[in-house]
C-alpha cells in the first residue's frame, strides 16, 4: 500500500491534490457531525455567535480558501511540503463553503430544509471530480493527445481539438437533458457522454420542454423511465446523503414566514368578527331597553315597569289600524241623514189642498 501510494501519488506529483482531497472529506464529515449535535441540542456543541449574529461556517471557509489559495500561488515550486500545507488549508475552506452551498445559492438559511440538499450534492460532485483527478483520469480524453509530438512548438493537435469540441457538445446536450451526474462524470469518461446524449431526456429538463410534445412517444417513454429507474435511484441517493449529512426535514423559512403571516391575518379576522358580534349584542340590548316611563299616581313603592320595545310597536300598530278602520266606516256612512227622513217633493202635500 505504501509503495502504491509513493508510486501513484508522490512520484506522480499528486501529493498536494491528495492533501486537498483528504482534508476536504475529513472536514465535511466533522462539520456534519458537529451541526447534527448542535441540532440535537447537545450541551457542549453550540453555534458560533457574535452578539445576536449567527456566524455561519461558510465565513471561516471563505477566509481559509483565501489563505490557502494565495499561499499555493506564492510558494515556490521546490517547496512541496508547503504546497501540501496550502492545499490542506484550501481543502478545509472548500469543505466549509460547499457545506453551505445552498445558503449561498438561495441567500437564505435553508440548511436543514429540502433546498439544503443542494449543499450535499455539491460536496458529492467535488469529491467525485477530485477522486477522478487523483486516480489520474484527465478530463476530455487521454493525456497523450494533448500536444502534437511532431511539432516543436508544443501546439494542440488537431485530433485533440476535434475530440475536445465533440466532448463539449455532448456534455452540453447531456446537461440540457437533465442528466447532471452523467454530464459531469462524462467529462472524465467520454463514453458516458455518448450514452447520455443519445438516450431520452428527463421529463422536466429543458430539452424535453423544447423538443418533446406532451403526447409524443418520447415523452411518454421518458416519464416511464423516470418512474421506474430514476426515482428509485434518487431515493437511494437521498437515503445515503441523509445517512451521512442528516435529515433535511425542516420547513423552509419563507414558508414559515407565509404561515406566520396567514396565522396573523386569521387572528385579526377573528378579533374583528368578535368585535362585530359584541357590538351587535350591545345594539340589541340597547333596543330592548326604552326610555323611562312616568309612574302612575299612587304608585309609590312600586317598581317601574318598562314595556318592551316590541310591545309598544305592536300597540301603536293596533291603534293605527283601529283609527284607519274608523275613518273608512265614517266615509261609507251617508252624510245627509236628516234630508232622507223628509218625503220627496213629489210626495209632499200641495198648498190649499186638504188632507
pLDDT in the model for residue 338: 45
pLDDT in the model for residue 297: 53
- Asked if residue 185 is part of any domain, the answer here is no
Mean pLDDT, residues 139-147 taken together: 55
**CB of 112 closer than 8 Å to CB of 246:** yes
- Asked if residue 53 is part of any domain, the answer here is yes
pLDDT at 313 exceeding the cut of 70: no
**CB of 204 closer than 8 Å to CB of 216:** no
Complete DSSP assignment for 33-88: HHHHHHHTT-TT----EETTEE--HHHHHHHHHHHHHHHHHHS-TT-HHHHHHHHH
- Asked if residue 171 is part of any domain, the answer here is no
- Asked if residue 187 is part of any domain, the answer here is no
Whole-number Å distance between alpha carbons of 91 and 97: 10
- Asked if residue 37 is part of any domain, the answer here is yes
Least confident segment among 98-102, 213-217, 268-272, 337-341? 337-341
pLDDT at 227 exceeding the cut of 60: yes
Q: Which among 261, 287, 313 is the end of a domain?
A: 287
- Can you give the C-alpha Rg of the chain in angstroms? 47
**What are 273-282's pLDDT values in tens digits?**
999 999 998 8
CA angle (60 as vertex; 58, 64 as ends), nearest 5: 115
Angle (deg, nearest 10), helices 15-39 and 231-245? 80
- Asked if residue 348 is part of any domain, the answer here is no
Give the residue with greater pLDDT, 130 vs 320. Answer: 130
Mean pLDDT, residues 265-277 taken together: 92
Q: Which among 238, 272, 287 is the end of a domain?
A: 287
Q: Which among 77, 112, 136 is the end of a domain?
A: 136
Mean pLDDT, residues 292-320 taken together: 52
pLDDT at 13 exceeding the cut of 70: yes
Whole-number Å distance between alpha carbons of 100 and 94: 10
**CB of 151 closer than 8 Å to CB of 143:** no
pLDDT in the model for residue 340: 47
Whole-number Å distance between alpha carbons of 121 and 126: 9
Q: Is 220 exposed, middle or buried (0-12, 13-18, 19+ CB in 10 A)?
A: middle
Whole-number Å distance between alpha carbons of 47 and 109: 14
Give the residue with greater pLDDT, 208 vs 323. Answer: 208
Mean pLDDT, residues 248-273 taken together: 82
- Asked if residue 235 is part of any domain, the answer here is no
Residue range(s) defining the domain that contains residue 278? 253-287
Angle (deg, nearest 10), helices 15-39 and 117-134? 160
- Asked if residue 295 is part of any domain, the answer here is no
Whole-number Å distance between alpha carbons of 309 and 161: 101
Domains: count for the chain: 2
Amino acid at each position: 500500500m505504501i509503495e502504491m501510494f509513493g508510486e501513484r501519488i508522490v512520484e506522480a506529483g499528486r501529493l498536494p491534490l491528495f492533501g486537498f482531497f483528504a482534508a476536504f472529506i475529513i472536514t465535511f464529515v466533522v462539520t456534519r457531525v458537529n451541526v447534527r449535535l448542535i441540532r440535537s441540542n447537545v450541551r457542549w456543541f453550540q453555534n458560533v455567535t457574535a452578539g445576536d449574529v449567527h456566524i455561519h461556517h461558510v465565513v471561516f471557509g471563505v477566509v481559509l480558501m483565501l489563505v490557502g489559495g494565495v499561499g499555493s500561488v506564492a510558494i515556490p515550486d521546490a517547496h512541496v511540503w508547503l504546497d501540501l500545507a496550502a492545499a490542506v488549508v484550501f481543502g478545509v475552506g472548500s469543505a466549509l463553503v460547499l457545506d453551505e452551498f445552498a445558503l449561498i445559492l438561495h441567500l437564505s438559511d435553508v440548511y436543514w430544509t429540502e433546498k439544503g440538499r443542494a449543499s450535499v450534492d455539491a460536496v458529492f460532485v467535488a469529491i467525485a471530480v477530485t477522486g477522478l483527478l487523483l486516480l489520474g483520469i484527465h478530463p476530455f480524453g487521454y493525456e497523450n493527445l494533448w500536444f502534437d509530438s511532431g511539432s516543436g512548438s508544443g501546439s494542440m493537435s488537431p485530433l485533440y481539438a476535434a475530440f475536445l469540441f465533440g466532448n463539449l457538445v455532448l456534455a452540453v446536450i447531456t446537461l440540457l437533458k437533465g442528466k447532471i451526474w452523467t454530464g459531469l462524470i462524462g467529462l472524465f469518461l467520454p463514453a458516458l457522454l455518448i450514452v447520455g446524449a443519445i438516450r431520452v431526456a428527463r421529463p422536466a429538463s429543458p430539452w424535453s420542454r423544447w423538443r418533446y410534445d406532451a403526447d409524443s412517444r418520447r415523452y411518454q417513454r421518458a416519464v416511464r423511465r423516470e418512474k421506474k429507474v430514476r426515482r428509485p435511484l434518487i431515493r437511494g441517493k437521498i437515503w445515503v446523503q441523509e445517512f451521512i449529512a442528516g435529515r433535511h426535514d425542516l420547513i423552509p423559512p419563507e414558508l414559515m414566514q407565509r404561515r406566520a403571516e396567514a396565522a396573523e391575518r386569521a387572528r385579526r379576522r377573528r378579533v374583528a368578527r368578535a368585535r362585530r358580534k359584541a357590538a351587535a349584542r350591545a345594539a340589541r340590548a340597547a333596543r330592548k331597553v326604552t326610555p323611562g316611563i312616568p309612574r302612575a299616581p299612587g304608585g309609590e313603592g312600586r317598581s317601574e315597569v318598562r314595556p318592551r320595545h316590541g310591545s309598544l310597536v305592536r300597540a301603536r300598530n293596533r291603534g293605527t289600524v283601529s283609527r284607519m278602520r274608523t275613518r273608512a266606516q265614517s266615509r261609507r256612512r251617508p252624510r245627509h241623514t236628516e234630508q232622507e227622513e223628509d218625503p220627496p217633493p213629489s210626495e209632499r202635500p200641495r198648498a190649499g189642498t186638504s188632507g
